Amino acid sequence: MSGGAATGHQEGHAGRGRLEWLRDPSLVGLCLASLGVVVAGGLVQVTFGPFTMSPARAWQGVVDPAVVLDTRWMLKFLLGEGPMRAVTGYAAPDMPAVETGSLVVWTLRLPRVFVAVLVGMNLAVSGAIFQAVTRNELASPFILGVSSGAGLAILLTLVVFSGLTALLPLVAALGGAGAFLLVYAIAWKNGTSPVRLVLAGVVVSTVAQSLQTAMFLFAGDIGVVQTAIAWTTGSLTGVRWTQVRMVLPWTLVSMTLAVLGARQLNVLLLGEETARSLGVSVERVRFALSGVAVLAAAASIAVAGIVSFVGLVVPHVVRNVVGSDYKKLVVGCLFAGPALLVAADVGARLGMAVLAGSDSGQLPVGIVTGLLGGPYFLYLMRRQQNLGEI
Amino acid sequence: MAIDRTPGSAASATADDAPAPVDRDGAGELAGEDLVVGYPGTDAPVLDGESLTLEPGAVTALVGPNGSGKSTLLRALATQLDPETGSVLVDGQDVHALDAKALARTLGLLSQESASPDSLTVEDLVYHGRYPHRGFFEAVTESDQAAVDRAVSLAGVEHLRDRVLGSLSGGQKQLAWIAMVLAQETDVLLLDEPTTFLDPHHQLEVLEIVETLRAESEVTVALVLHDIEQAARYADRVVALRDGEIQARGPPDEVVTERLLADVFRVEATVEHGPRGPTVTPERPLHEDGA
């Protein structure tokens, strides 16, 4: 914080220090509330599951010093077992002993919460960026063809090139990024415009989705279809530390770039002509920021598939609370995105058990976010006159 | 890490008595040479080889009927439209030789499009005018604050400073946008139809700002106006266009004549030359081909 900078020029005006805006009470409140949801959802997630233990035992497991303070365990989680052994020189065949409860919490249940946090962040910020780039409040991370490209790549891999199944996360992310580049190429004609980008996105999505649906007809057995559906609706079932390691670096990169690009996003919102007259290289900035958003979306697709609605709803909720200043909006999304996804994943993982009384079925989390997102938009439609304008 | 500011005595001192932007190095000469400008999808260019040099420090008004190419000419000068041939020079330097931010520190534009987030405050909007003056990682400096204070004071929007744009009238919004381009502190300022769609009060507010710039600063101003009488009164030079061609240019007294109104605007009018410039009384529209 730039201490003491709050006393600006004339009386009554807010300070203009570098981080002064972070003190906005509505933003602080939103972040704290989101953090509360994440913690509460996380605690629920680590408590329940096939291995039965008391809440107290599970929560002790989360802070078990035998795991948390052991660099070998932490490095194994964050880097993988091989690199951990290389770094620490640990040579024993087994990992250091910890209680089973802690082991279940740390190896099975917590990584799922962490992945939900990272995916929620990525999707929310990605959506926020695309809403500025396309100047449309109803834009999502998938508006420029990313989801349909990824979906097609997933289906092609599962049905046609089944030898590549091990590389599915990478193929899905690349499919999404490829579709985005195709959209940009189609939209480009001496530069782009928000409308042309969205239309090109529709073109590519339509074709890719038709092909994707056609691909289902060639799927040999129901298992392949179920895998495909889990990927194309978004699921966190079975994610482990491998997925955390997969998504974490890209999340750090894209979230940092998004925070740094907030001022450019703010100027883009003033309209292309004004942005250009203020010295923004509009085309370059738009492509670069879209690239950041696609990177975030692709990283989340690689670990969770195509989770809908998070990237659409979260920026919207945050904007309603903190306003359209992208510095605040991006930071708000970094907290609110994880809150929505962690909460939705509680429903996805445990909802069926509560409703149907069986502990077998888990829903893809994308189904839960869709079930939450739809009614929220209905509510907005009823309440707001000018939905859609940023 | 953050650049702290001492509570600003300098800022508040300059806010009241110094409307003229400072920090100008160039002379503020803007010239378009042999501009051929069209829009994608149309065959014939709107402007076919027009040249215009804005007199440094003076106010130039572009007038002409709808579709005469006056906004196109202004937007070409503002480098918003890439001419097919011809060039735009700022202080003798081709605009393409300057990087985007350096150009934006010299050449400002009040655009006709005024898309703005409703929840943005006037002050935040005006701070966006400082964008070309700030590096990627730079925080707001004292000179940014001083510039914003001057711009807000000159545009007369102090009382609106903390209001959000969504709560303002069209005229108040326009003044806020003008404050933004003033905060940019450019040598050349181009205003694209700054008074169109405003009520008389806000039209005069806008023109008063132009008047202040003309009298008290070295800024070169060009603006597109629909009201030829306003153009004659507030500008040092008037440029009249019709069908993409400059028909007349010069001081208002020489340009604004009954002959010009007939030729360019197809209006029969009486023009009287008084102490405050020519006054125009339109009589009736002229129809071509004896219709």
The tokens describing A273, both together, are 């002509």
Q: Is the pLDDT of residue A16 over 80?
A: no
**Which strand ranges, in their side-by-side order, compose the sheet holding B93-94?**
B47-54, B30-37, B85-90, B93-94
Whether residues B136 and A260 touch (CB distance < 8 A) is answered with yes
pLDDT band for position B9 (cuts 50, 70, 90)? very low
A374-388 pLDDT, tens digit per residue, is 888 788 778 766 655
Q: Give residue A385's pLDDT.
A: 64
Q: Give residue A52's pLDDT.
A: 87
Contacts of B181 in chain A (CB under 8 A): 277
Given the cut 0.90, state whether the ipTM is greater than it: no
Q: Give residue B221's pLDDT.
A: 96
pLDDT band for position B184 (cuts 50, 70, 90)? very high
Q: Give residue A365's pLDDT.
A: 92
A295-310 pLDDT, tens digit per residue, is 999 999 999 999 988 9
Say whether B175 sits in a helix, a strand or coil.
helix
Closest CA to A244 of A367, A44, A75: A75
Contacts of B2 in chain A (CB under 8 A): 1-2, 5, 17-19
Residues A24-53, mean pLDDT to the nearest whole number: 93
Assess contact for A265 and A326: CB atoms under 8 A.
yes
DSSP-assigned beta bridge partners for residue B223 = B61, B191
Q: Is the pLDDT of residue B206 over 60?
A: yes
The residue ranges of every structural domain in chain A are: 24-64+99-383
Q: Is the pLDDT of residue B287 over 50?
A: yes
Torsion sign, CA atoms A85, A90, A94, A95:
negative
Does residue A267 belong to the interface with chain B, where contact is any CB pair within 8 Å? yes
Q: Give residue A373's pLDDT.
A: 84
Assess contact for B193 and B112: CB atoms under 8 A.
yes
Does residue B29 belong to the interface with chain A, where contact is any CB pair within 8 Å? no
Assess contact for A280 and A262: CB atoms under 8 A.
no
- Give A94's Cβ-side CA count (13 Å radius): 3
Whether residues B136 and A274 touch (CB distance < 8 A) is answered with no
Phi, psi of A237 (to 5 degrees): -60, 130
Q: Give residue A12's pLDDT.
A: 38
pTM of the full structure: 0.88
**Residue A89, phi-psi category: left (phi > 0), alpha (psi -120 to 50), beta (remainder):** left
Q: Is the pLDDT of residue B137 over 60?
A: yes
Q: Is the pLDDT of residue B162 over 70?
A: yes
Q: Give residue B129's pLDDT.
A: 95
> A-contacting residues of B 140-169, CB under 8 Å?
140, 144-146, 149, 161-162, 164
Give the burial class of B135: count Cβ atoms within 10 A of its Cβ; 0-12 exposed, 13-18 middle, 19 or more buried.
Answer: exposed
Q: Give residue A115's pLDDT.
A: 97
A209-223, B23-37, B93-107: the lowest-pLDDT one: B23-37
B8 against B203, higher pLDDT: B203
Kindly state the DSSP code that residue A18 receives in the 8-state scheme: T
pLDDT band for position B26 (cuts 50, 70, 90)? low
Closest CA to B76 of B246, B250, B237: B246
Assess contact for A297 and A141: CB atoms under 8 A.
yes
pLDDT band for position B24 (cuts 50, 70, 90)? very low
> CB-based contacts of B81: which residues, under 8 Å, 6+ apart?
B37, B39, B72, B75
Say whether A328 sits in a helix, a strand or coil.
helix
Residues A144-172, mean pLDDT to the nearest whole number: 88
A220-229, A282-291, B225-234: the lowest-pLDDT one: A220-229
Residues A128 and A141: their CA atoms lie apart, in Å, by 8
Q: Is the pLDDT of residue A141 over 50?
A: yes
Does residue B80 belong to the interface with chain A, where contact is any CB pair within 8 Å? yes
Count, residues in chain A: 390
Q: Is the pLDDT of residue B76 over 90?
A: yes
Residue type, B226: H
pLDDT band for position B14 (cuts 50, 70, 90)? very low
Residues A58 and A104: their CA atoms lie apart, in Å, by 9
Residues A198 and A210: their CA atoms lie apart, in Å, by 18
**Residue B63, phi-psi category: left (phi > 0), alpha (psi -120 to 50), beta (remainder):** beta
The tokens describing A186, both together, are 């189609």
DSSP-assigned beta bridge partners for residue B99 = none
Q: Give residue B13's pLDDT.
A: 40
Residues B109 and B191: their CA atoms lie apart, in Å, by 6
Mean pLDDT over the full length of chain B: 87
Closest CA to B190 of A271, A277, A270: A277
> CB-based contacts of A298: which residues, under 8 Å, 6+ apart?
A146, A150, A172, A173, A174, A176, A177, A250
Say whether B163 sits in a helix, a strand or coil.
coil
Q: Is the pLDDT of residue B21 over 50?
A: no
For the A24-64+99-383 domain, the top CATH level (class) is mainly alpha
DSSP-assigned beta bridge partners for residue B32 = B52, B88
Whether residues A279 and B103 touch (CB distance < 8 A) is answered with yes
The tokens describing A24, both together, are 């906005």
B32-61 pLDDT, tens digit per residue, is 999 999 887 778 899 999 999 999 999 999
Assess contact for B35 and B49: CB atoms under 8 A.
yes
| Residue found under tokens 């250091």 | A96
User: Which of A16, A276, A279 is facing B145, going by the closest CB pair?
Assistant: A16
Whether residues B2 and A324 touch (CB distance < 8 A) is answered with no
Whether residues B114 and A271 touch (CB distance < 8 A) is answered with yes
Domain architecture of chain B: domains with CATH: 26-113+186-290 (3.40.50.300)
Distances (CA, A) of B188 to A257, B71, B181: 34, 16, 10
Assess contact for B20 and B216: CB atoms under 8 A.
yes
Rounded-to-5 percentages of helix, strand, coil across chain B = 35, 25, 40
A172-176, A365-369, B134-138, B154-158: the lowest-pLDDT one: B134-138
The DSSP result for A87-98, as a single string, is: HH----SSPPP-
Assess contact for B72 and B47: CB atoms under 8 A.
yes
Q: Give residue B4's pLDDT.
A: 42
Q: What proportion of chain B, given as a percentage, has pLDDT over 90? A: 69
Contacts of B75 in chain A (CB under 8 A): 273
Residues A341-370, mean pLDDT to the nearest whole number: 84
Q: Is the pLDDT of residue A4 over 80?
A: no
Residues A201-220, mean pLDDT to the nearest whole number: 89
Say whether B77 sits in a helix, a strand or coil.
helix
Torsion sign, CA atoms A57, A62, A63, A65:
positive
Whether residues A2 and B115 touch (CB distance < 8 A) is answered with no
> B-contacting residues of A 6-65, CB under 8 Å?
7-10, 12-13, 16-19
pLDDT band for position A15 (cuts 50, 70, 90)? low
Q: What proportion of chain A, given as a percentage, has pLDDT over 90? A: 54
B235-279 pLDDT, tens digit per residue, is 999 999 999 999 999 999 999 999 999 999 999 999 998 887 888
Whether residues B140 and A17 touch (CB distance < 8 A) is answered with yes
Kindly state the DSSP code that residue B131 receives in the 8-state scheme: G
Residues A307 and A215: their CA atoms lie apart, in Å, by 20
Closest CA to B118 of A330, A137, A277, A207: A137
Closest CA to B50 of B264, B242, B260: B242
